[in-house]
Amino acid sequence: MAIEVIPTGAALGAEVRGLDLSKPLTDAEFEAVQQAWYDHIVLLFRGQKIDDDDLVRFSARFGELDIAPASATDMAGGQALSRPEIWIISNVVENGRPIGALGDKEAEWHTDMSYVAEPPMASVLYSLEIPDRGGDTSFANMYKALEELPADLRAAVEGRICNHDASMTSVGELRAGAEAVVDVRTAPGAKHPVIRTHPATGGKSLYLGRRLNAYLEGYSVEESERLLDRLWAHCAKPEFSWTHKWQVGDLLIWDNRCAIHRRDGFDGSQRRVMHRTQIKGRAPR
Ligand code: OGA
Ligand code: MN
């Protein structure tokens, strides 16, 4: 069966049909997937029946994998993970301990781990159990957001550096070992250019990380807050985004360099269990 790439019709995202990810991809198949990924930023593969080894093998075609850092292990409740490359995203609590990260609350717009010097270029999320409703995941196209940025705002951020706060998670919780930020100018984290160039596609995009405790270097706190509020309001416009409603067996891969994502909250009495990998990236430039 030939590979089919079916764009969502929204600002980003495409479904890829005709691949069984429980089997290794041929080089030709991988090249087609990678090109589709560069073109569409987020790819969806439905109806996959894969185990952690398959998930790791597929993810590793894109590059070296990150292993779950100490903070993720803490968030995962110290669970013995099946293998260090697999992160669990779940609200399920077993024996009084969460089996994974992010719980059941809304996760605000963010890009993964931009608060480190070399953030992961991509994340892969595979659904094992999903609630009846809620927990949808949305993505927004940051190439488009930059293209359509009002000229005065673009001039204000061109060549600027933003500090990406490391203290808070996307569900608004303090990370293990972090202290609450009292002054955004001294928040822990990593400093990256607001506009970055994708190393593979050459496209320029906004790279904002997350809103909370962010700081635009070289501005007063007041001015930085004002600019960041405008930037985030712009990026969150529906015309830049696509929302995925999960089914069991869905696998998504997204590009953290040129997309942000968020997740709706859901009924905490229902189970949501996803396995995830992260592909290492380089310092944004
Ligand atoms: C993530 C994430 C969203 C979701 O894994 O990085 O933001 O839908 N997950 O669980
Ligand atoms: Mn995320």
pLDDT of residue 267: 98
The share of the chain scoring above pLDDT 90, in percent, equals 87
Pocket of ligand 1 contains residue 66 by CB under 6 Å: no
3-state secondary structure of 154: helix
Q: What average pLDDT score do residues 200-217 get?
A: 97
Assess whether pLDDT exceeds 50 at residue 77.
Answer: no
Return the minimum-mean-pLDDT range out of 73-82, 99-108, 208-217, 237-246: 73-82
pLDDT of residue 76: 46
Indicate which ligand has the atom closest to the C-alpha of 246.
1
75 domain residue, yes or no? yes
251 domain residue, yes or no? yes
Burial status of residue 86 (CB atoms within 10 A of its CB: 0-12, 13-18, 19 or more): buried
3-state secondary structure of 185: helix
11 domain residue, yes or no? yes
Q: What average pLDDT score do residues 167-192 get?
A: 92
Pocket of ligand 1 contains residue 206 by CB under 6 Å: no
253 domain residue, yes or no? yes
pLDDT of residue 84: 86
Cβ atoms of 204 and 143 closer than 8 Å: yes
Assess whether pLDDT exceeds 60 at residue 285.
Answer: yes
227 domain residue, yes or no? no
Q: What average pLDDT score do residues 129-148 get?
A: 98
Pocket of ligand 1 contains residue 124 by CB under 6 Å: no
pLDDT of residue 232: 98
What gap in Å lies between CA 274 and CA 251, rounded to an integer?
9
The CATH number of the domain holding residue 12 is: 3.60.130.10
Cβ atoms of 256 and 121 closer than 8 Å: yes
Pocket of ligand 1 contains residue 164 by CB under 6 Å: no
pTM for the full predicted model: 0.96
79 domain residue, yes or no? yes
Q: What average pLDDT score do residues 157-161 get?
A: 98
Q: Which of 42, 89, 90, 112 to mutate to test the pocket of ligand 1 (most atoms within 8 A of CB)?
A: 89
217 domain residue, yes or no? no
Nearest by Cα to 41 from 4, 3, 13:
13
Assess whether pLDDT exceeds 90 at residue 80.
Answer: no
pLDDT band for position 259 (50/70/90)? very high
89 CA → ligand 1 middle, Å: 7
Across the chain, mean pLDDT equals 94
Assess whether pLDDT exceeds 70 at residue 248.
Answer: yes
Q: Residue 45 belongs to what domain range? A: 4-103+120-132+245-257+266-279
pLDDT tens-digit readout, 8-63: 999 999 999 999 999 999 999 999 999 999 999 999 999 999 999 999 999 999 99
DSSP 72-135: HHHHTTT---SSTT-EEEE--EETTEESSEETTS-EEEE-TTTTSSS--SEEEEEEEE--SSB-
| Number of domains forming the structure of the chain | 1
108 domain residue, yes or no? no
Pocket of ligand 1 contains residue 181 by CB under 6 Å: no
Residue 162, strand partner residues: 192, 216
